[in-house]
Structure 1
Amino acid sequence: MSDKAAAKQRFINVFDGLVEELKEILISYKMPQEAIDWFVRNLDYNTPGGKLNRGLSVVDTYAILNNTTADKLSDEEYKKVAILGWAIELLQAYFLVADDMMDQSKTRRGQPCWYLVEGVNNIAINDSFMLEGAIYVLLKKHFRQDSYYVDLLDLFHEVTFQTELGQLLDLVTADEEVVDLDKFSLAKHSFIVIFKTAYYSFYLPVALSMYMSGISSEEDLKQVRGILIPLGEYFQIQDDYLDCFGTPEQIGKIGTDIKDNKCSWVVNQALLHASPEQRKLLDENYGKKDDVSEQKCKDLFNEMGISKIYHEYEESIVAKLKEQIEQIDESRGLKKEVLYAFLAKVYKRSK
């Protein structure tokens, strides 16, 4: 087993233990067996799939901040930091179960969306709440005695609300029934991706590992936010770009942003540079569910040189982020290496 696979397996083993802990709590409430089985199935179906990047990065960041590597952490210390990683994965699962219903998506991580599993339907709404509730049950059980317990709660509540604000703007801007490109703008796109993705995917993992490492000054959290939020925005812009220009083999799915009328970075760049004729073509074809309209949009994006604009953006944002990382004050225990590790995961990725 490769080091990467072994690290992932160790992380997943912690999850199996947490499912048992949650099950015990339901048993202590004298919950009927059928409901316990349902909750366990919900946890297993929705939480451990995917790449687990967010959860694993809590462990990796904690190790860097404590001058060690994840495999050198004692089982007790590893379990504690891994629980914070799984708390983010539960938050992600909560968002995705709900998001798939709002978007009427069909598949997620190569399997049917939870609400489409036989017998689930609208029960998935309550199931999403239970995934969120599990976060706080686990935090209370394992961190109640720690001085930073309230900081963890505050952080999860704040980031959850920020993500929901991003989702709200995304939903009201990109209505699949009524296509209105006048609603789009790069400023809106920026708000959506920062609030919907950057806070919980980039800032949250690092802030959690900082709290557990005793690095909790507002100055340090601010330094980290100042880099990870633009990095998260860059990650999502890259995602938008790959959705349109990447191949399905490359990104592991068929891009649907054009057909779904998404307020993506690509269409916003096109709107910014479009001639009246090009704008008319976009108005007539963007957000339509057919392949011909989608291809017309893609051809237009190619003709407009969106690819070149993207690559110029990528180089300039990466240069700027490196410059910012170099200016980090490490005097209170924060390490530049944490931020370079995140940048390395994003720069020029192809999936």
Structure 2
Amino acid sequence: MSKQRFIDLFDELADDLKQILLDYKMPEAAVDWFHKNLYYNTPGGKLNRGLSVIDTYAILNNTTADKLSDEEYKKVAVLGWAIELLQAYFLVADDIMDQSKTRRSHPCWYLVEGVGNIAINDSFMLEGALYMLLKKYFREEPYYVHLLELFHDVTFQTELGQLLDLVTADEEVVDLDKFSLDKHSFIVIFKTAYYSFYLPVALAMHMAGISKDSDLKQVHDILIPLGEYFQITDDFLDCFGTPEQIGKIGTDIKDNKCSWVVNQALLHVTPEQRKVLDENYGKKDDQSEAVCKQLFKDLGIEKIYYDYEESVTSDLRKKIQSIDESNGLKKEVLTSFLNKVYKRSK
């Protein structure tokens, strides 16, 4: 129900954006292209980030999403769709950089017939679209500048994470000496945790009027390590999960990814095992991948992960319990995020 209500609003926002192009007297062919870009790249994912803004706002107001008035729901949902547009911008650009073939079970946008490098500009337009929506719906709000700053800051943070990822894990030149757990931590915090975990909650807090620096720091200090834990689980499942379980074929080993799994392995290998890893990691063939996976099993990476999971979640629960709720912040916001991540298998 709540997801469908969110999806239904997208048509209205797409019309808002289309109207901006019409007001600029853009030719019909260009308007149609932008419309196709919007629909191909934005609403097709899980929409977890956008829905998290709505759920967080509802919790902060002691209600549920389905009890919000149409006007209030629409406003907070615009913030949710703004994150989804940001996500679409990142993914369109990311797929070009990685030369990926599919996204959400469809060809990547740049591979769609007739698109090609136009996708670079299309990614910019997806980012620009989110600011047009913020201007239309929030320009008169006292927290408008805070919303703009949040999106600008988080976009730059994500791009920093992407930069370190790209220069650390070159698919053509495998050099495991470039890897480290510190680099991995930076990459996942900046590339994933800020925009996937902190941004949805911070946006909802501003709209709910809970915007003291001390409150934003409280959620930051829990959501950033929670986002790191989320990505470490992703890395673990990419190697140890089955395609049926995770809904895709893991490619981190073949793609020479600076993943948590290989960084843990590098801490525990003997010189002989390191030689095996150097010879097989980042190779595109199934046999080399199987050799790496067996080595990771031999090193006990699974137990290391499960010990880490219990340690980090125990620490996060303690932090959540010590949250100061005096300004309207709710522990339930953070508990709900942790519950979605803990012991997930996909």
- Is 1:29 the equivalent of 2:63? no
The partner residue of 2:34 within 36, 39, 51 is: 39
Which of 158, 163, 168 is residue 163 of structure 2 equivalent to? 168
1:156: which partner in 2?
151
SS in 1 for 2:257: coil
Gaps of 5+ in 1: 1-5
1:95 correspondence with 2:87 = no
SS for the counterpart of 1:67 is coil
In structure 1, the partner of 2:15 is 20
Q: Deviations over 1:323-344 (max 9, x none)?
A: 0000000000000000000001
Unaligned runs of 5+ in 2: none
TM-score computed with the length of structure 2 as normaliser: 1.00
Per-residue CA deviations over 1:38-63 (Å, capped at 9, x if unaligned) read 00000000000111000000000000
What residue identity is the alignment partner of 2:206? Y
The reply to whether residue 230 of structure 1 matches residue 225 of structure 2 is yes
Task: String of CA shifts for 1:18-76, please: whole Å, max 9, x gaps.
Answer: 00110111111110000000000000000001110000000000000000000000000
State the secondary structure of the residue aligned to 1:41: helix
Q: One-letter code of the match for 2:78?
A: I
User: Which of residues 69, 79, 93 is equivalent to 1:74?
Assistant: 69
Pairing partner for 1:141 from 131, 136, 141 = 136
Superposition pairs for residues 1-351 of structure 1, below 5 Å? 6-351=1-346
What's the C-alpha RMSD, in Å, of the aligned pairs?
0.4
Q: C-alpha separation between the residues in 1 aligned to 2:39 and 2:244?
A: 27
Deviation at 1:236, TM superposition (A): 0.2
Following superposition, the deviation at residue 12 of structure 1 comes to 0.5
Whole-angstrom CA distance in 2 between matches of 1:57 and 1:68? 14
In structure 2, the residue corresponding to 1:289 is in which secondary structure?
A: coil
Corresponding residue SS for 1:163: helix
Other structure's SS at 2:209 match:
coil
Overall identity of the aligned pairs, in %: 80
CA separation in 2, counterparts of 1:38 and 1:252? 31
Distance 1:86 1:211 in 2: 16
In the alignment, the residues of structure 1 paired with residue 10 and residue 209 of structure 2 have an alpha-carbon distance, to the nearest angstrom, of 25
Where 2:142 maps in the other structure, the secondary structure is: coil
The CA distance in 2 between the partners of 1:182 and 1:49, in whole Å, is 38
Aligned length: 346
Q: How big is each residue's C-alpha offset from its partner over 1:289-317, in whole Å with a ceiling of 9 and x where there is no partner?
A: 00000000000001111000000000000
Offset at residue 14 of structure 1 (A):
1.0
- For 1:302, the aligned partner's letter is K
Secondary structure of the 2:167 match is helix
Per-residue deviation, 1:272 = 0.4
Amino acid at match of 1:323: K
How far apart, CA to CA, are the structure 1 residues paired with 2:48 and 2:21? 29
1:198: how far off?
0.2
Q: C-alpha separation between the residues in 2 aligned to 1:203 and 1:15?
A: 23
Note the C-alpha offset of 1:177: 0.5
3-state SS in 2 of match to 1:30: coil
Q: Secondary structure of 1:177's partner? A: coil
- For the residues of structure 2 that align with 1:153 and 1:97, how far apart are their CA atoms? 22
Instruction: Report the CA distance between 1:108 and its aligned residue.
Output: 0.4
SS, match of residue 170 in structure 2: coil
Shift, 1:16, TM fit: 1.0
Letter of the 1:88 counterpart? I
Hey, which bits of structure 1, 4+ residues long, moved more than 3 A? Answer: none
2:330 is aligned with what amino acid? Answer: K
